Amino acid sequence: AYWQGLDSLLAPFMTVSFDAADRAFGLLQAVIDRWLPNFFLPDNAVALQHHLASFKQVLSYIDPELSWELERGGFHPELYAIPWFLTLFSHALPLDKVCRLFDPLLLGKPSLPLFVAVALMQQLRPLLVPLDFNKCVAAFADMPAIDIDLCVRQTREFAGRTPAARMLGVGAVVQSFKR
């Protein structure tokens, strides 16, 4: 089956394994199995909704003001974060930044993409807070430059200071589907 975004997710692996497509595909499969379980299934709506709810929860914990402003303006994660999570940010960021992000991301826990998304939102915060709904949509259509080193540092910081009880993490969500 064709899945929109798989080409973006495969691109970093093809870049580092350009001479071995089978290795690149194996890396892609391993990443999907660990970080994106249930995302590439015919009925992935429940998995995506749980992941987006977890993201909203983590954003609300780390930056309640930004979360409130976005919620008040009707700018929900369904409008911008689905491609982030489906492609582990490889569709939204330039390839060189994705490769730098994948090293710490793929060595971390499956919940780490939630914190990457919050770190991205922190960099976009000054742009987003004063905007109305339509301008927020436009801002995400043309993603501003992201400092990937700052993103990685903030990701680690946010993950380290967020109590596990406050976060539903991807693993807990996946386990709830299996019960």
Q: Residue 107: its pLDDT value, please?
A: 87
Q: Residue 2: its pLDDT value, please?
A: 64
How far apart are the C-alpha atoms of 179 and 61, rounded to whole Å? 27
Q: Give the pLDDT of the chain (179 residues) as one tens digit per residue.
A: 668 888 999 999 999 888 899 999 999 999 999 989 889 888 889 999 999 999 999 999 999 999 999 998 888 999 999 999 999 999 999 999 999 999 888 888 888 999 999 999 999 999 888 878 888 887 777 778 899 999 999 999 999 998 874 444 444 443 433 33
For 60-94, b/e burial (b = at least 16 CB within 10 A) is bbbbeebbebbeebebebeebbeebbbbbbbbbbe
User: Token digits for 44?
Assistant: 């992935």
Classify the C-alpha dihedral 15-21-27-32 as positive or negative.
positive
Identify each DSSP E strand in the chain by its residue range.
none
Q: Residue 137: its pLDDT value, please?
A: 80
